[in-house]
Structure 1
Amino acid sequence: MTSNSTLSRVLPGLFIIGIGLVWMLRVAGVMIPDWLFSWEMLLIALGLFLGIKSGFKDWNFLLPLGVGVIFFINDFTDLRLGKFLIPALIILLGMYVIAKNLIKPKNNSGADGFGLSTEHTTTDGVVKIDAFLSGIKKSYDLPEFKGGTINNLLAGVDLNLKNTKVHGTAVLTVSTLLGGVKIWLPDDVQLISEIQAVMGDVDDKRFRASSNPTGTIILRGSAMLGGIEIRS
Protein backbone atom coordinates (compact mmCIF):
# COMPACT_ATOMS: atom_id res chain seq x y z
CA MET A 1 0.00 0.00 0.00
CA THR A 2 2.85 2.36 0.88
CA SER A 3 4.78 1.60 -2.32
CA ASN A 4 1.69 2.22 -4.46
CA SER A 5 1.07 5.53 -2.68
CA THR A 6 4.70 6.58 -3.20
CA LEU A 7 4.58 5.65 -6.89
CA SER A 8 1.37 7.64 -7.31
CA ARG A 9 3.06 10.73 -5.85
CA VAL A 10 6.33 10.53 -7.82
CA LEU A 11 4.91 9.35 -11.16
CA PRO A 12 3.80 12.80 -12.41
CA GLY A 13 7.28 14.18 -11.72
CA LEU A 14 8.99 11.24 -13.44
CA PHE A 15 6.68 11.69 -16.43
CA ILE A 16 7.61 15.37 -16.76
CA ILE A 17 11.32 14.63 -16.26
CA GLY A 18 11.17 12.05 -19.04
CA ILE A 19 9.64 14.55 -21.46
CA GLY A 20 12.29 17.12 -20.53
CA LEU A 21 15.16 14.66 -21.02
CA VAL A 22 13.94 13.58 -24.46
CA TRP A 23 13.48 17.21 -25.47
CA MET A 24 16.96 18.11 -24.20
CA LEU A 25 18.51 15.27 -26.22
CA ARG A 26 16.76 16.52 -29.33
CA VAL A 27 17.98 20.09 -28.77
CA ALA A 28 21.50 18.73 -28.23
CA GLY A 29 21.43 17.23 -31.71
CA VAL A 30 20.62 13.62 -30.90
CA MET A 31 18.56 12.08 -33.68
CA ILE A 32 15.07 11.70 -32.21
CA PRO A 33 12.23 10.84 -34.62
CA ASP A 34 9.63 13.56 -35.16
CA TRP A 35 6.76 11.18 -34.46
CA LEU A 36 7.88 10.99 -30.83
CA PHE A 37 6.67 14.59 -30.43
CA SER A 38 3.33 14.10 -32.19
CA TRP A 39 -0.03 14.64 -30.51
CA GLU A 40 -0.74 10.94 -30.99
CA MET A 41 2.23 10.04 -28.81
CA LEU A 42 1.01 12.54 -26.22
CA LEU A 43 -2.27 10.63 -25.96
CA ILE A 44 -0.46 7.29 -25.81
CA ALA A 45 1.82 8.59 -23.07
CA LEU A 46 -1.18 9.94 -21.15
CA GLY A 47 -2.94 6.57 -21.43
CA LEU A 48 0.12 4.71 -20.15
CA PHE A 49 0.53 7.28 -17.37
CA LEU A 50 -3.07 6.81 -16.20
CA GLY A 51 -2.77 3.04 -16.47
CA ILE A 52 0.43 2.83 -14.45
CA LYS A 53 -0.88 5.26 -11.85
CA SER A 54 -4.04 3.19 -11.27
CA GLY A 55 -2.28 -0.16 -11.57
CA PHE A 56 -4.35 -0.70 -14.75
CA LYS A 57 -7.41 -1.29 -12.54
CA ASP A 58 -9.49 1.56 -14.01
CA TRP A 59 -10.47 1.46 -17.67
CA ASN A 60 -10.12 5.22 -18.21
CA PHE A 61 -6.53 4.77 -19.48
CA LEU A 62 -7.89 2.90 -22.53
CA LEU A 63 -9.58 6.00 -23.95
CA PRO A 64 -6.51 8.18 -24.63
CA LEU A 65 -4.35 5.13 -25.31
CA GLY A 66 -6.76 3.70 -27.88
CA VAL A 67 -7.32 7.01 -29.69
CA GLY A 68 -3.59 7.68 -29.80
CA VAL A 69 -2.72 4.22 -31.12
CA ILE A 70 -5.38 4.29 -33.84
CA PHE A 71 -4.36 7.70 -35.19
CA PHE A 72 -0.66 6.90 -34.82
CA ILE A 73 -1.03 3.79 -36.96
CA ASN A 74 -3.12 5.73 -39.47
CA ASP A 75 -0.67 8.65 -39.78
CA PHE A 76 2.74 7.03 -39.46
CA THR A 77 2.36 3.64 -41.17
CA ASP A 78 1.12 2.38 -44.51
CA LEU A 79 -1.96 0.97 -42.84
CA ARG A 80 -5.03 3.15 -43.24
CA LEU A 81 -7.41 2.46 -40.41
CA GLY A 82 -9.56 5.53 -40.94
CA LYS A 83 -11.94 3.72 -43.28
CA PHE A 84 -12.53 1.06 -40.62
CA LEU A 85 -13.13 3.51 -37.78
CA ILE A 86 -16.84 4.23 -38.31
CA PRO A 87 -17.82 0.56 -38.92
CA ALA A 88 -15.81 -0.44 -35.84
CA LEU A 89 -17.58 2.18 -33.73
CA ILE A 90 -20.96 0.92 -34.98
CA ILE A 91 -20.02 -2.65 -34.04
CA LEU A 92 -18.86 -1.55 -30.59
CA LEU A 93 -22.07 0.44 -30.17
CA GLY A 94 -24.12 -2.67 -30.96
CA MET A 95 -22.11 -4.73 -28.49
CA TYR A 96 -22.65 -2.06 -25.86
CA VAL A 97 -26.43 -2.09 -26.44
CA ILE A 98 -26.54 -5.89 -26.10
CA ALA A 99 -24.46 -5.89 -22.93
CA LYS A 100 -26.49 -3.04 -21.42
CA ASN A 101 -29.79 -4.78 -22.09
CA LEU A 102 -28.59 -8.13 -20.77
CA ILE A 103 -26.98 -6.79 -17.62
CA LYS A 104 -29.05 -3.70 -16.73
CA PRO A 105 -32.15 -3.68 -18.95
CA LYS A 106 -34.15 -1.20 -16.82
CA ASN A 107 -31.50 1.09 -15.44
CA ASN A 108 -31.78 4.16 -17.64
CA SER A 109 -34.23 6.22 -15.64
CA GLY A 110 -31.67 8.97 -15.15
CA ALA A 111 -31.09 9.63 -18.85
CA ASP A 112 -32.50 12.48 -20.87
CA GLY A 113 -33.40 12.04 -24.52
CA PHE A 114 -31.89 9.62 -27.03
CA GLY A 115 -28.76 7.80 -26.06
CA LEU A 116 -27.28 4.97 -24.09
CA SER A 117 -26.87 6.62 -20.71
CA THR A 118 -27.26 4.63 -17.52
CA GLU A 119 -26.82 5.27 -13.83
CA HIS A 120 -27.19 3.33 -10.63
CA THR A 121 -26.33 3.59 -6.96
CA THR A 122 -25.33 0.56 -4.96
CA THR A 123 -26.53 0.06 -1.41
CA ASP A 124 -23.09 0.90 -0.02
CA GLY A 125 -23.12 4.49 -1.28
CA VAL A 126 -21.17 4.02 -4.52
CA VAL A 127 -22.39 5.88 -7.62
CA LYS A 128 -21.82 4.73 -11.20
CA ILE A 129 -22.82 6.81 -14.24
CA ASP A 130 -22.25 6.00 -17.92
CA ALA A 131 -23.33 8.77 -20.31
CA PHE A 132 -23.14 8.30 -24.08
CA LEU A 133 -24.91 10.55 -26.61
CA SER A 134 -27.40 11.79 -24.01
CA GLY A 135 -27.26 13.70 -20.75
CA ILE A 136 -27.82 12.60 -17.19
CA LYS A 137 -28.97 14.92 -14.42
CA LYS A 138 -29.12 13.20 -11.06
CA SER A 139 -29.37 14.23 -7.42
CA TYR A 140 -28.50 11.90 -4.57
CA ASP A 141 -29.36 12.01 -0.88
CA LEU A 142 -26.98 9.46 0.60
CA PRO A 143 -26.24 8.94 4.30
CA GLU A 144 -22.64 8.33 3.25
CA PHE A 145 -21.02 8.83 -0.16
CA LYS A 146 -18.16 6.36 -0.65
CA GLY A 147 -17.08 7.23 -4.20
CA GLY A 148 -17.90 6.06 -7.69
CA THR A 149 -17.20 6.42 -11.40
CA ILE A 150 -18.44 8.70 -14.17
CA ASN A 151 -17.79 7.77 -17.81
CA ASN A 152 -18.93 10.48 -20.20
CA LEU A 153 -18.66 10.42 -24.00
CA LEU A 154 -20.30 13.00 -26.28
CA ALA A 155 -22.75 13.86 -23.52
CA GLY A 156 -23.23 15.84 -20.33
CA VAL A 157 -23.49 14.80 -16.70
CA ASP A 158 -24.94 16.91 -13.87
CA LEU A 159 -24.34 15.13 -10.56
CA ASN A 160 -25.70 16.71 -7.37
CA LEU A 161 -24.09 15.41 -4.17
CA LYS A 162 -24.91 18.44 -1.99
CA ASN A 163 -27.23 16.42 0.25
CA THR A 164 -24.78 13.58 0.80
CA LYS A 165 -22.40 13.03 3.69
CA VAL A 166 -18.73 12.21 3.25
CA HIS A 167 -16.83 10.63 6.12
CA GLY A 168 -13.14 10.05 5.62
CA THR A 169 -11.95 9.88 2.01
CA ALA A 170 -13.98 8.97 -1.09
CA VAL A 171 -12.55 8.57 -4.59
CA LEU A 172 -14.61 9.68 -7.60
CA THR A 173 -13.11 8.62 -10.94
CA VAL A 174 -14.23 10.76 -13.89
CA SER A 175 -13.43 10.10 -17.55
CA THR A 176 -14.90 12.57 -20.04
CA LEU A 177 -14.30 12.94 -23.77
CA LEU A 178 -16.02 15.60 -25.89
CA GLY A 179 -18.44 16.40 -23.10
CA GLY A 180 -18.90 18.19 -19.81
CA VAL A 181 -19.36 17.04 -16.24
CA LYS A 182 -20.77 19.24 -13.47
CA ILE A 183 -20.50 18.05 -9.88
CA TRP A 184 -22.21 19.73 -6.91
CA LEU A 185 -20.50 19.08 -3.56
CA PRO A 186 -21.40 19.84 0.07
CA ASP A 187 -19.74 22.89 1.60
CA ASP A 188 -18.05 20.83 4.30
CA VAL A 189 -16.08 18.62 1.90
CA GLN A 190 -12.46 19.09 0.88
CA LEU A 191 -11.70 18.47 -2.80
CA ILE A 192 -8.42 17.11 -4.15
CA SER A 193 -8.17 16.96 -7.95
CA GLU A 194 -5.83 14.49 -9.64
CA ILE A 195 -7.53 14.78 -13.04
CA GLN A 196 -5.23 14.57 -16.09
CA ALA A 197 -6.53 17.12 -18.63
CA VAL A 198 -5.71 17.18 -22.36
CA MET A 199 -7.32 20.15 -24.12
CA GLY A 200 -9.75 20.22 -21.21
CA ASP A 201 -9.84 21.60 -17.70
CA VAL A 202 -11.13 21.23 -14.16
CA ASP A 203 -12.80 24.39 -12.85
CA ASP A 204 -13.55 24.66 -9.13
CA LYS A 205 -16.26 27.33 -8.83
CA ARG A 206 -17.18 26.77 -5.21
CA PHE A 207 -17.60 30.02 -3.26
CA ARG A 208 -17.77 28.55 0.22
CA ALA A 209 -15.34 25.98 1.49
CA SER A 210 -15.35 24.89 5.11
CA SER A 211 -12.19 25.41 7.13
CA ASN A 212 -13.07 22.24 9.04
CA PRO A 213 -14.05 19.68 6.39
CA THR A 214 -15.81 16.53 7.54
CA GLY A 215 -14.51 14.49 4.62
CA THR A 216 -12.43 14.52 1.45
CA ILE A 217 -13.30 13.68 -2.14
CA ILE A 218 -10.42 12.82 -4.48
CA LEU A 219 -11.12 13.34 -8.18
CA ARG A 220 -9.19 11.02 -10.49
CA GLY A 221 -9.39 10.25 -14.19
CA SER A 222 -9.05 12.27 -17.38
CA ALA A 223 -10.70 15.14 -19.25
CA MET A 224 -10.10 15.27 -23.01
CA LEU A 225 -11.68 17.97 -25.17
CA GLY A 226 -14.10 18.63 -22.35
CA GLY A 227 -14.37 20.06 -18.88
CA ILE A 228 -15.21 19.19 -15.31
CA GLU A 229 -16.91 21.89 -13.23
CA ILE A 230 -17.20 21.78 -9.45
CA ARG A 231 -19.90 23.78 -7.65
CA SER A 232 -21.39 23.97 -4.18
Structure 2
Amino acid sequence: MTRYSSPRNDGGIVFGFVILGIGVLLLLKKIGIFIPTWVLTWPMILIAIGLFTLIKHEFKSLFGAFILFLGTYFLLKNEFHLAFSLDRYIFPVGLIVLGLYLITKKKKEQDLIRNIKADWQKSRKSKVDQPIGGDTNESDSSSSTSSFSSSTASGAASNMGGTSFSDTLNIDAILSGVNKRILSKNLKGGKLTAAFGGIDLDLTQADIQGPITIQVDVIFGGMKILVPPHWDIRTEVSNIAAGIEDKRIYRDTAIDPEKVVILKGTVLFGGLEIKSF
Protein backbone atom coordinates (compact mmCIF):
# COMPACT_ATOMS: atom_id res chain seq x y z
CA MET A 1 0.00 0.00 0.00
CA THR A 2 1.24 3.49 -0.84
CA ARG A 3 2.11 5.35 2.32
CA TYR A 4 1.01 8.92 2.73
CA SER A 5 3.83 11.25 3.71
CA SER A 6 3.32 14.81 4.82
CA PRO A 7 4.89 17.57 2.71
CA ARG A 8 8.00 19.23 4.00
CA ASN A 9 6.23 22.57 4.50
CA ASP A 10 2.99 22.24 6.45
CA GLY A 11 0.61 24.69 4.75
CA GLY A 12 -1.92 24.39 7.60
CA ILE A 13 0.61 25.69 10.14
CA VAL A 14 1.64 28.59 7.88
CA PHE A 15 -1.99 29.56 7.26
CA GLY A 16 -2.64 29.30 10.99
CA PHE A 17 0.11 31.84 11.67
CA VAL A 18 -1.41 34.16 9.03
CA ILE A 19 -4.79 34.01 10.75
CA LEU A 20 -3.15 34.45 14.15
CA GLY A 21 -1.33 37.56 12.92
CA ILE A 22 -4.53 39.11 11.54
CA GLY A 23 -6.31 38.43 14.83
CA VAL A 24 -3.51 40.03 16.86
CA LEU A 25 -3.54 43.14 14.65
CA LEU A 26 -7.31 43.50 14.99
CA LEU A 27 -7.07 43.12 18.76
CA LEU A 28 -4.32 45.74 19.02
CA LYS A 29 -6.38 48.14 16.96
CA LYS A 30 -9.46 47.60 19.13
CA ILE A 31 -7.56 48.41 22.35
CA GLY A 32 -6.27 51.67 20.91
CA ILE A 33 -2.78 50.79 19.70
CA PHE A 34 -1.94 52.50 16.42
CA ILE A 35 -1.93 50.15 13.46
CA PRO A 36 -1.31 51.57 9.96
CA THR A 37 -4.50 51.37 7.91
CA TRP A 38 -2.76 49.69 4.98
CA VAL A 39 -1.96 46.63 7.11
CA LEU A 40 -5.62 45.55 7.08
CA THR A 41 -6.44 46.23 3.42
CA TRP A 42 -7.38 43.68 0.76
CA PRO A 43 -4.01 43.86 -1.06
CA MET A 44 -2.36 42.70 2.18
CA ILE A 45 -4.65 39.67 2.11
CA LEU A 46 -3.36 38.85 -1.38
CA ILE A 47 0.22 39.28 -0.18
CA ALA A 48 -0.41 36.95 2.76
CA ILE A 49 -1.97 34.33 0.47
CA GLY A 50 0.90 34.63 -2.00
CA LEU A 51 3.52 34.17 0.72
CA PHE A 52 1.54 31.32 2.25
CA THR A 53 1.37 29.50 -1.09
CA LEU A 54 5.05 30.12 -1.93
CA ILE A 55 6.24 28.83 1.44
CA LYS A 56 4.05 25.76 1.12
CA HIS A 57 5.52 24.99 -2.33
CA GLU A 58 9.10 25.89 -1.35
CA PHE A 59 8.94 29.07 -3.48
CA LYS A 60 8.25 27.12 -6.69
CA SER A 61 4.60 28.09 -7.21
CA LEU A 62 3.58 30.27 -10.17
CA PHE A 63 0.21 30.75 -8.48
CA GLY A 64 1.82 32.12 -5.29
CA ALA A 65 4.18 34.41 -7.19
CA PHE A 66 1.29 35.81 -9.26
CA ILE A 67 -0.85 36.54 -6.18
CA LEU A 68 2.10 38.10 -4.33
CA PHE A 69 2.81 40.37 -7.30
CA LEU A 70 -0.82 41.51 -7.55
CA GLY A 71 -1.05 42.24 -3.83
CA THR A 72 2.21 44.18 -3.76
CA TYR A 73 1.33 46.20 -6.86
CA PHE A 74 -2.11 47.28 -5.63
CA LEU A 75 -0.82 47.98 -2.11
CA LEU A 76 1.86 50.34 -3.40
CA LYS A 77 -0.55 51.97 -5.83
CA ASN A 78 -3.65 52.36 -3.61
CA GLU A 79 -2.13 52.97 -0.19
CA PHE A 80 1.22 54.62 -0.93
CA HIS A 81 0.08 56.37 -4.13
CA LEU A 82 3.12 55.30 -6.07
CA ALA A 83 2.43 56.05 -9.74
CA PHE A 84 3.77 53.09 -11.65
CA SER A 85 1.50 53.64 -14.67
CA LEU A 86 1.61 49.90 -15.25
CA ASP A 87 -2.14 49.22 -15.44
CA ARG A 88 -2.19 49.03 -19.23
CA TYR A 89 0.85 46.73 -19.25
CA ILE A 90 -0.21 44.17 -16.62
CA PHE A 91 -2.48 42.12 -18.87
CA PRO A 92 -0.17 41.82 -21.94
CA VAL A 93 2.90 41.19 -19.75
CA GLY A 94 0.92 38.56 -17.84
CA LEU A 95 0.07 36.82 -21.12
CA ILE A 96 3.74 36.90 -22.19
CA VAL A 97 4.88 35.39 -18.88
CA LEU A 98 2.14 32.76 -19.08
CA GLY A 99 3.12 31.87 -22.66
CA LEU A 100 6.79 31.48 -21.73
CA TYR A 101 5.82 29.31 -18.76
CA LEU A 102 3.65 26.99 -20.87
CA ILE A 103 6.28 26.74 -23.65
CA THR A 104 9.05 25.91 -21.17
CA LYS A 105 6.90 23.37 -19.38
CA LYS A 106 5.89 21.68 -22.64
CA LYS A 107 9.50 21.55 -23.85
CA LYS A 108 10.60 19.84 -20.62
CA GLU A 109 7.84 17.25 -21.04
CA GLN A 110 8.84 16.58 -24.66
CA ASP A 111 12.52 16.22 -23.73
CA LEU A 112 11.61 13.79 -20.96
CA ILE A 113 9.45 11.69 -23.31
CA ARG A 114 12.21 11.71 -25.96
CA ASN A 115 14.82 10.50 -23.45
CA ILE A 116 12.55 7.75 -22.13
CA LYS A 117 11.79 6.57 -25.66
CA ALA A 118 15.49 6.56 -26.64
CA ASP A 119 16.46 4.53 -23.55
CA TRP A 120 13.63 2.07 -24.17
CA GLN A 121 14.54 1.55 -27.83
CA LYS A 122 18.20 1.06 -26.88
CA SER A 123 17.19 -1.60 -24.36
CA ARG A 124 14.98 -3.38 -26.93
CA LYS A 125 17.75 -3.28 -29.55
CA SER A 126 20.18 -4.99 -27.20
CA LYS A 127 17.66 -7.80 -26.73
CA VAL A 128 17.03 -8.11 -30.48
CA ASP A 129 20.77 -8.51 -31.12
CA GLN A 130 20.80 -11.71 -29.06
CA PRO A 131 20.96 -14.87 -31.28
CA ILE A 132 17.96 -16.63 -29.73
CA GLY A 133 14.71 -16.14 -31.62
CA GLY A 134 16.15 -13.50 -33.96
CA ASP A 135 13.30 -12.87 -36.44
CA THR A 136 10.55 -13.31 -33.88
CA ASN A 137 12.13 -10.91 -31.44
CA GLU A 138 12.73 -8.36 -34.18
CA SER A 139 9.08 -8.54 -35.18
CA ASP A 140 7.97 -8.23 -31.56
CA SER A 141 10.35 -5.33 -31.10
CA SER A 142 8.89 -3.43 -34.07
CA SER A 143 5.37 -4.06 -32.83
CA SER A 144 6.25 -3.04 -29.28
CA THR A 145 8.08 0.08 -30.46
CA SER A 146 5.05 1.09 -32.51
CA SER A 147 2.81 0.49 -29.51
CA PHE A 148 5.12 2.48 -27.26
CA SER A 149 5.24 5.38 -29.72
CA SER A 150 1.45 5.47 -29.86
CA SER A 151 1.07 5.43 -26.10
CA THR A 152 3.78 8.08 -25.70
CA ALA A 153 2.05 10.38 -28.18
CA SER A 154 -1.25 9.73 -26.41
CA GLY A 155 0.31 10.60 -23.05
CA ALA A 156 1.82 13.82 -24.43
CA ALA A 157 -1.46 14.88 -25.97
CA SER A 158 -3.44 14.06 -22.81
CA ASN A 159 -2.07 17.15 -21.11
CA MET A 160 -4.20 19.25 -23.46
CA GLY A 161 -7.46 17.72 -22.22
CA GLY A 162 -9.60 14.69 -22.92
CA THR A 163 -8.38 11.35 -21.56
CA SER A 164 -5.19 10.69 -19.62
CA PHE A 165 -3.51 7.51 -18.32
CA SER A 166 -0.93 9.45 -16.29
CA ASP A 167 -0.42 8.37 -12.67
CA THR A 168 0.32 11.95 -11.57
CA LEU A 169 -1.99 14.94 -11.97
CA ASN A 170 -0.45 18.16 -13.25
CA ILE A 171 -3.19 20.34 -14.71
CA ASP A 172 -3.03 24.12 -15.16
CA ALA A 173 -6.08 26.06 -16.39
CA ILE A 174 -4.93 29.67 -16.67
CA LEU A 175 -7.24 31.94 -18.67
CA SER A 176 -8.70 28.74 -20.11
CA GLY A 177 -10.79 25.67 -19.36
CA VAL A 178 -9.70 22.04 -19.05
CA ASN A 179 -11.99 19.01 -19.14
CA LYS A 180 -10.11 15.79 -18.39
CA ARG A 181 -10.91 12.16 -17.57
CA ILE A 182 -8.28 10.12 -15.72
CA LEU A 183 -8.03 6.37 -16.43
CA SER A 184 -4.97 5.54 -14.32
CA LYS A 185 -5.40 2.53 -12.02
CA ASN A 186 -2.60 3.68 -9.73
CA LEU A 187 -3.20 7.40 -9.32
CA LYS A 188 -0.63 8.95 -6.99
CA GLY A 189 -2.02 12.48 -6.57
CA GLY A 190 -0.67 15.70 -8.04
CA LYS A 191 -1.52 19.36 -8.52
CA LEU A 192 -4.47 21.29 -9.99
CA THR A 193 -4.30 25.04 -10.64
CA ALA A 194 -7.16 27.17 -12.00
CA ALA A 195 -6.47 30.90 -12.37
CA PHE A 196 -9.14 32.86 -14.22
CA GLY A 197 -10.24 29.53 -15.67
CA GLY A 198 -11.89 26.23 -14.84
CA ILE A 199 -11.11 22.53 -14.45
CA ASP A 200 -13.56 19.62 -14.78
CA LEU A 201 -11.81 16.47 -13.56
CA ASP A 202 -13.44 13.04 -13.89
CA LEU A 203 -11.90 10.38 -11.63
CA THR A 204 -14.77 7.89 -11.81
CA GLN A 205 -12.73 5.49 -14.01
CA ALA A 206 -9.52 5.90 -12.01
CA ASP A 207 -8.27 3.92 -9.02
CA ILE A 208 -5.88 4.54 -6.13
CA GLN A 209 -3.81 2.14 -4.03
CA GLY A 210 -3.85 3.92 -0.68
CA PRO A 211 -4.05 7.55 0.54
CA ILE A 212 -3.08 10.24 -1.98
CA THR A 213 -2.87 14.03 -1.83
CA ILE A 214 -4.10 16.44 -4.50
CA GLN A 215 -2.97 20.07 -4.29
CA VAL A 216 -5.80 22.41 -5.31
CA ASP A 217 -5.24 26.13 -6.02
CA VAL A 218 -8.08 28.26 -7.41
CA ILE A 219 -8.16 32.03 -7.95
CA PHE A 220 -11.01 33.75 -9.74
CA GLY A 221 -12.02 30.43 -11.23
CA GLY A 222 -13.82 27.18 -10.63
CA MET A 223 -13.06 23.51 -10.23
CA LYS A 224 -15.27 20.43 -10.28
CA ILE A 225 -14.00 16.98 -9.27
CA LEU A 226 -16.10 13.87 -9.98
CA VAL A 227 -15.15 10.89 -7.80
CA PRO A 228 -16.37 7.30 -7.20
CA PRO A 229 -18.91 7.06 -4.35
CA HIS A 230 -16.79 4.64 -2.28
CA TRP A 231 -13.78 6.98 -2.04
CA ASP A 232 -13.10 8.86 1.20
CA ILE A 233 -12.60 12.54 0.29
CA ARG A 234 -11.00 14.68 3.00
CA THR A 235 -11.03 18.42 2.32
CA GLU A 236 -8.30 20.49 3.95
CA VAL A 237 -8.63 23.49 1.64
CA SER A 238 -8.45 27.09 2.83
CA ASN A 239 -11.20 29.20 1.21
CA ILE A 240 -11.28 32.99 1.17
CA ALA A 241 -14.29 34.72 -0.39
CA ALA A 242 -14.99 31.38 -2.05
CA GLY A 243 -17.27 28.37 -1.84
CA ILE A 244 -16.52 24.69 -1.33
CA GLU A 245 -19.45 22.35 -1.99
CA ASP A 246 -19.61 18.62 -1.38
CA LYS A 247 -22.43 17.38 -3.63
CA ARG A 248 -21.63 13.68 -3.48
CA ILE A 249 -24.59 11.30 -3.56
CA TYR A 250 -24.42 9.13 -0.47
CA ARG A 251 -25.67 5.62 -1.16
CA ASP A 252 -25.50 2.28 0.62
CA THR A 253 -22.04 1.72 -0.83
CA ALA A 254 -19.54 1.42 2.02
CA ILE A 255 -16.56 3.76 2.11
CA ASP A 256 -13.33 1.92 1.33
CA PRO A 257 -10.74 2.88 4.01
CA GLU A 258 -7.95 2.26 1.47
CA LYS A 259 -9.34 4.83 -1.00
CA VAL A 260 -8.51 8.14 0.67
CA VAL A 261 -8.06 11.41 -1.23
CA ILE A 262 -6.78 14.42 0.71
CA LEU A 263 -7.47 17.78 -0.95
CA LYS A 264 -5.14 20.58 0.16
CA GLY A 265 -4.68 24.10 -1.14
CA THR A 266 -6.35 27.49 -1.40
CA VAL A 267 -9.54 28.71 -3.08
CA LEU A 268 -9.67 32.50 -3.53
CA PHE A 269 -12.66 34.25 -5.14
CA GLY A 270 -13.72 31.01 -6.77
CA GLY A 271 -15.39 27.69 -6.17
CA LEU A 272 -14.60 24.02 -5.61
CA GLU A 273 -17.25 21.36 -6.17
CA ILE A 274 -16.98 17.66 -5.35
CA LYS A 275 -19.50 15.26 -6.89
CA SER A 276 -20.08 11.54 -7.31
CA PHE A 277 -22.23 9.53 -9.69
Normalised by the length of structure 1, the TM-score is 0.81
Measure, in 2, the Cα distance between the counterparts of 1:198 and 1:174. Answer: 14
Q: Shift of residue 189 of structure 1?
A: 1.7
- Please report how far the alpha carbon of residue 194 of structure 1 lies from its aligned counterpart in structure 2 after TM superposition: 2.1
Residue 199 (structure 1) aligns with = 241
Q: What is the letter of the counterpart of residue 104 of structure 2?
A: A
Query: Which residue among 94, 106, 114 is the counterpart of 1:89?
Result: 94
Instruction: Determine the C-alpha separation between the residues in 2 that align with 1:39 and 1:187.
Output: 39
Contact 1:121 1:127 in 2 (8 A): no
The residue type paired with residue 202 of structure 2 is N
Moved more, 55-64 or 41-50: 55-64
AA partner of residue 126 (structure 1)? T
Query: Residues 26-58 of structure 1: CA distance to partner in whole angstroms, max 9, x if unpaired?
Result: 111111100000000011112222333444354
Q: 1:79 aligns with which of 80, 83, 86?
A: 83
Structure-to-structure mapping, 1:21-40, within 5 angstroms: 21-40=24-43
Q: For residues 188 and 97 of structure 1, do their structure 2 counterparts lie closer, same or farther at Cα, with a shift above 3 Å needed?
A: closer
Q: Once the 2 structures are TM-superposed, how far is the Cα of residue 2 of structure 1 from its aligned partner?
A: 8.2
Indicate how the Cα distance of structure 1 residues 130 and 71 shifts in structure 2: closer, same or farther if over 3 A, else same: same
CA distance in 2, matches of 1:207, 1:120: 25
Amino acid at match of 1:158: D
Q: Structure 2: how far apart are the matches of 1:143 and 1:58?
A: 28
Contact 2:211 2:258 in 1 (8 A): no
How many residues of Structure 1 are paired with residues of Structure 2 in the alignment? 224
Among 68, 73, 80, the alignment partner of 1:70 is 73
Aligned match of 2:171: 129
**Residues 1:155 and 1:60: Cα distance change in structure 2 (over 3 Å):** closer
Mapping of residues 1-232 of structure 1, within 5 Å: 4=8, 8-77=11-80, 78-80=82-84, 81-96=86-101, 98-99=103-104, 102-103=107-108, 107=156, 111=160, 122=166, 125-208=167-250, 210-232=254-276
CA distance in 2, matches of 1:70, 1:120: 38
Give the superposition deviation at 1:182.
0.7
Helix, strand or coil: the match of 2:237? strand
* Conservation of the 8 A alpha-carbon contact between 1:140 and 1:160: yes
Q: Classify the secondary structure of the residue corresponding to 2:211.
A: strand
Describe the shift of the 1:40–1:191 C-alpha distance in structure 2 as closer, same or farther (beyond 3 A).
same
Q: Pick the structure with more strand per residue.
A: 1
**Residues 127-174 of structure 1 deviation map (CA, whole Å, 9 limit, x = unaligned):** 211223332211122111100111222222111111212222211112
- Kindly name which structure, 1 or 2, has the bigger radius of gyration based on alpha carbons: 2
Q: Percent identical across equivalent pairs?
A: 30
Q: Which stretch of the first structure deviates more once superposed, 130-139 or 165-174? A: 130-139
Root-mean-square deviation (Å): 2.9
User: In structure 2, the residue corresponding to 1:168 is in which secondary structure?
Assistant: coil
Give the counterpart letter for 2:234 in structure 1: I
* Aligned counterpart, 2:116: none
Distance 1:204 1:100, change over 3 A: same
1:188–1:214 Cα contact (<8 Å) kept: no
Question: Displacement of 1:104 after TM fit?
Answer: 5.3
Secondary structure, counterpart of 1:197 in structure 2? strand
- Extract unaligned runs of 5+ from structure 2: 111-152
Amino acid at match of 2:45: L
Asked whether the equivalents of residues 110 and 136 of structure 1 are also in contact (C-alpha less than 8 Å), the reply is no
Q: What amino acid sits opposite 1:34 in the alignment?
A: T
| CA distance, structure 2, for counterparts of residue 11 and residue 101 of structure 1 | 32
* Aligned 8 A contact 2:163 2:182 in 1: no
Distance 1:73 1:20 in 2: 23
Q: Which structure is higher in helix share?
A: 2
Residues 180-200 of structure 1 show CA distances to partners (whole Å, capped at 9, x for unaligned) of 111011222211222222221
